[in-house]
Homo-oligomer: A and B are copies of this chain.
Amino acid sequence: MIVKDRLYINSINRFQIVDITPYINEKIKKSQIYSGIINVFTKHTTSAIIINENEKGLQTDIFNILYDLIPDGNRYSHDMIDHNAGSHLRSLFLGPSETIPIYEGSLDLGRWQSVFFIELDGPRSRRQVDLTIMGD
């Protein structure tokens, strides 16, 4: 069985990490799929989907390391088109999706794992994250 659904996210800062785990679990429950996988896919080239621990300090560390490795600045070619090359490059290294096991009707994550949408070029309204749920 295949069920498609969608999350919409409004971001309020340029950089923002949003824990979307509970919203995904609601959609899996609604799908009535008990066992399988889910593909969580952001439709935007200046955002990302990641999995890690939900801890405030770690979110600061993620922001700092991304800007240390890929600083803003006017040395990017894409900045002549649209002033957000750094946002695109940070999204490139994090990736647009995660494919995650489902078991017993919810995300089968480890104890310290949460699923996050990362806004890299906000604030934006109605950022779209598509969910494809496949299983029995």
Instruction: Tell whether, in the assembled complex, residue B41 and residue A60 are in contact, meaning their CB atoms are under 8 Å apart.
Output: no
Interface of A is mostly: mixed
Q: Quick one: copies of this chain in the complex?
A: 3
A96 touches which of B70, B80, B98 (Cβ 8 Å): B98
Query: Considering only CB atoms, which chain B residue lies closest to A63 in the complex?
Result: B77
Given the interface contacts A36-B2, A36-B134, A112-B44, does A76 sit within 8 Å of B57 by beta carbon?
A: yes
For A27-38 the 0/1 string (1 means CB < 8 A from B) is: 000000001110
Chain A, interface size category, equals: 35 or more
Binding site for B on A (CB under 8 A): 2, 4, 35-37, 39, 41-45, 50-53, 55-58, 60-62, 64-65, 69-70, 75-81, 85, 88-89, 91-101, 103, 108-113, 128, 130, 132, 134-136
